[in-house]
Chain A
Amino acid sequence: MKIISCIKPVPDPASRLIINESKTWIKDNDLTFVASEADNYALEEALRLKEKHQGDVAILSMGGDEAARVLRSGLAMGADRAIHLLDPKFKGADEFAAAETLAKAIEKDGGADLVLAGVQSDDLGTGMTGVMLAEFLGYAHATVVIGVEADPAAKTLKVKRELEGGINETVELPFPAVLTIQFGINQPRYASLKGIMAAKKKELKAWSAADLGLSDNLVGKPGAMYEVKEVFVPERKSRVEIITGTAEEAAAKLVEKLRKEAKVI
């Protein structure tokens, strides 16, 4: 079974995000980048599937040094090899351009039985790149996956999806497929010292837009379907009203306000 797991480098969640001067993104020069959290669950799932069914786990990431960094961590976790989509032309891609670039790389690598990605990234966070990737590749797909059973002999998958309102759904789909993996599906492993040492000998190849046969108008900013007009911190419309007094007085005042002012009870 050949699995490709996609990893997006995002600013470390602990970092303080500051909007850049042109107000089109955050200042990301000095930030530390890590794998987007959901992508760790995806890679862990890929490694578990390989352990059960044998095969090959490749990891795929787009970006500069930050992508190389998350790929090295992924190799240390246990991935067999890594593909780094490295080209200044890739910068400024939206979900659409990113998905098209990733799809071309997967095709160049000979396709896959299974492509995994996190359900959504920690930066753009819309959860659309994985589904777009499936359409570019012409693969079946399932989103918000909380359980995977693969049958490599029959080339089918049975996956459980998490829907709204506490509903779970089981679906069957054929190889090749893209799955977007939900947070909490497993407990991602940490890289062992042995893993970190072994990672140094693993293959990490870099492909540019030209390697993928992608023309300049399809990648990065020119390939994006929308332009960013402004990034801003939304003003919270509500300003909290602190209700004072003893616990009993405050409780009574609050109930009065909920009934007369907010009219919610």
Chain B
Amino acid sequence: MIFVITEHRDNKLKSITSEALVFAQRVGQDFGQPVTAVVLGANVSGLADELKTKKIDRVIVAEHPDLAEYSPDRYVEALKTILGNEKPFLVIVGHTTQGMDFAPRLSVSLRRPLIAGCVEYEKQGDRLILTRQVFNAKMNMKTGVRGESPYFATASPGAFQADELQSGGNAEIVSVAVQFSGPVRRKLVERVEAPRGMVDLSAAPIIVAGGRGLKEKDNFKIVFELAEALGASVGASRPVVDSEWLPREYQVGSSGQTVSPKLYFAVGISGAIQHLVGMQTSRCIVAINKDVEAPIFKVAHYGIVDDLFKVVPALTKIFKDLKVS
């Protein structure tokens, strides 16, 4: 059995759940193991109905008023009950701030392996080899888990394509009763949107990002113009933010946002590793830069080696014309 611990907020499944399910479906097919999605929450029957349509075998639903908001204490306790009864082979969690908040505790509590940030896997005989990123994604590491299952893995965002999720199942929905005896030590006070003007780049389908190659703050307007013509969001590399051309919220990269849009324009961005780790899983990357040696071209799919002050306005004009026609 392969379990996917789903992630949801405001009664909507997060896209990482689809990615984790793709990971599970693939491992399930290779190892001949059924896939179960687990939903923890308060009123989540709608989510179970949505999951039921995917090509999986079962949906386990554990509802309790204490699970209305995510809590690491409650998640660990509920999952220990569920996993104890079921004894799965592999438990997949999203490599998110939520997943990485409870999965390590669960791993220690059960003394079972956790391989975090998985991007791929392979089957060697009967053994599952999980590949994860190390050294800020400069290198990958293949790992073999030790001891008995369950094994825990977190799926790196963008490593598995959500649109490859197979539908057409008619999964059985199983309700599981959970009871809690431990304390809820950490309590949510409030959850707020970061400063206004902030765009959720993590969900943006198209991003136009600008870098130091734009030379000065006023020149950033050509990035905004291209973004507007495309209906895209705007991002920036760290030097742009450090020079205060744009607020910190626009930053893409290891100390900013991690994004994985279908289309990413890197305009005048050389491609420091800290930037690349934040965007390299984008489906299609276009780099526009004068320097052919810039590392951004190593991750780009299409590149134009030319003066961005000529190329970007030309692109904006084409997209504007396309919109009109």
List residues of chain A with CB under 8 Å of any chain B CB: 17, 19, 26, 95-96, 99-100, 122-129, 131-132, 134-136, 140-144, 158, 161-174, 183-184, 224-234, 236, 238, 240-243, 247-248, 250-252, 254-255, 257-258, 262, 264-265
Q: Taking CB as reference atom, which chain A residue is nearest B101?
A: A143
8 contacts between A and B (CB under 8 A): A95-B114, A95-B116, A125-B136, A161-B97, A165-B200, A166-B194, A226-B146, A251-B311
The verdict on A168 contacting B286 (CB below 8 Å), with A255-B318, A265-B206 known, is: no
Contact across chains for A230 and B141 when beta carbons are under 8 A apart: yes
Pick from B72, B145, B191, B307: contact of A226, CB under 8 Å: B145
B108 and A99 form a contact (CB under 8 A): yes
User: Helix, strand, loop or mixed for chain B's interface?
Assistant: mixed
Residue of A nearest to B232 (CB): A265
Q: Is the CB of A174 within 8 A of B318?
A: no
A141 to B97, CA, bound (A): 13
Cβ–Cβ contact B284 & A96, under 8 A: no
Given contacts A124-B134, A262-B284, contact A240 B297 (CB under 8 A): yes
Are A144 and B97 also in contact (CB < 8 A) when A126-B132, A165-B203, A240-B297 are? Answer: yes
Q: Is the CB of A236 within 8 A of B314?
A: no
Nearest A residue to B304, CB-CB: A250
**Contact residues in B for A129 (Cβ distance below 8 Å):** 104
Q: How far is the CB of B49 from the nearest CB of chain A, in Å?
A: 25
B270: min CB distance to chain A, Å: 14
Is B174 close to A, CB under 8 A?
A: no
Contact between B189 and A226 (Cβ–Cβ < 8 Å)?
A: no
**Which stretch (B23-31, B35-43, B210-218, B255-263) binds chain A?**
B255-263
The complex places the Cα of A228 from the Cα of B301 at a distance, in Å, of 31
Q: Which one of A17, A144, A243, A248 lies within 8 Å of B302 (CB-CB)?
A: A243
Judging by beta carbons under 8 Å apart, are B303 and A240 in contact?
yes
Q: How close is A254's CB to chain B, nearest CB, in angstroms?
A: 6
Q: From residue A144, how far is it (CB to closest CB) to chain B in Å?
A: 5
Chain B nearest Cβ from A252, distance in angstroms: 6
Q: Which residue on A lies nearest to B70, using beta carbons?
A: A169
Encoded as 1 (CB less than 8 Å from any A CB) or 0, chain B from 86 to 119 comes to 0000000000111011011101110011111100
Asked if A258 and B109 sit within 8 Å, CB to CB, the answer is no
Q: Nearest Cβ distance between residue A48 and chain B, in whole angstroms?
A: 19
B290-312 interface with A by 8 A CB criterion: 292, 297-307, 310-311
Partner of A168, one of B146, B192, B257, B311: B192
A127 to B105, CA, bound (A): 12
Known: A126-B117, A183-B254. A227 touches B146 (CB 8 A): yes
Bound complex: CA A254 to CA B267 (Å): 14
Query: Would you list the 6 A-B pairs with minimal beta carbon distance, nearest first?
Result: A247-B310, A225-B113, A126-B116, A251-B314, A131-B104, A140-B185
Instruction: List, in ascending order, chain A residues with CB within 8 A of B254's CB.
Output: 183
Cα–Cα distance between A143 and B186 once the two chains are bound (Å)? 11
B140 located at the interface, meaning its Cβ lies under 8 Å from any Cβ of chain A in the complex = yes
Q: Does B283 contact A (CB under 8 A)?
A: yes
- A26–B151 Cα distance when bound, in Å, is 26
CB pair A135–B105 under 8 Å, yes or no, is yes
Complex interface residues of chain B between 180 and 200 (CB less than 8 A to chain A): 185-194, 198-200
B134 touches A123 (CB 8 A): yes
The smallest beta-carbon distance between B63 and chain A, in angstroms, is 23
| Known interface pairs A241-B301, A264-B284; A184-B255 also in contact (CB < 8 Å) | yes
For residue B65, CB closer than 8 A to chain A, the reply is no
Of all chain A residues, the one with the shortest Cβ separation from B120 is A234
Asked whether B166 is an interface residue with its Cβ less than 8 Å from the other chain, the reply is: no
Inside 8 A of B299's CB, which chain A residues have their CB?
236, 238
Q: Within 8 Å CB of A241, what residues of B?
A: 301-303
Given contacts A125-B134, A229-B129, A230-B141, contact A240 B116 (CB under 8 A): no
User: Quick one: which of B98, B302, B307 contacts A254, CB cutoff 8 A?
Assistant: B302
Q: Which of B215-234 contact A (CB under 8 A)?
A: 230
CB distance from A247 to the nearest CB of B (A): 4
Identify the interface centre among A125, A168, A184: most chain B CB within 10 Å of its CB: A125
Question: B144 at the A/B interface (Cβ < 8 Å)?
Answer: yes
Let me know if B185 and A166 touch, CB within 8 A: no
Please state if A122 and B136 are interface contacts (CB–CB under 8 Å): yes
Contact of A262 with B304 at beta-carbon distance under 8 Å, contacts A168-B191, A168-B192, A224-B146 already known: no
What residues of B have a CB within 8 angstroms of the CB of A172 in the complex? 186-187, 189
- A contact residues around B146 at 8 Å (CB): 224-227
Residues of B within 8 A of A99 (CB): 108
